[in-house]
Amino acid sequence: MSKLFAVTERPVATVAELNARADRLLPEIGQGAALRERDRLLPFEAVAQIAKAGFFSARIPVRYGGSGGSVKE
């Protein structure tokens, strides 16, 4: 017996939108970087912010639901 599941599609950000998000997010993440390095803390919150902003899908091709960005972008 097979089961069907509803899939909710999220809007995919363009590379330009991801770049704008990076410009806003990186200063915030960078604020605590020296402290995290000094205290040898893992950046769990920073990684969560990066994931929420959609950066992990930046290099995934558009046909597979990503942003289709290149290494250069």
Positive or negative torsion for Cα 5, 15, 57, 68: positive
pLDDT of the residue at 8 = 67
pLDDT of the residue at 7 = 64
Q: Strand runs (DSSP E) across 1-73, as ranges? A: none
* Domain ranges across the chain: 15-64
pLDDT of the residue at 45 = 95
DSSP 8-state symbol, 60: S
pLDDT tens sequence across 21-34: 999 999 999 999 99
* Under-50 pLDDT residues of the chain: none
Retrieve residue 52's tokens. 């929420």
pLDDT of the residue at 21 = 95
Judge whether 25 and 50 are in contact, CB under 8 Å.
yes
pLDDT of the residue at 3 = 78
pLDDT of the residue at 10 = 72
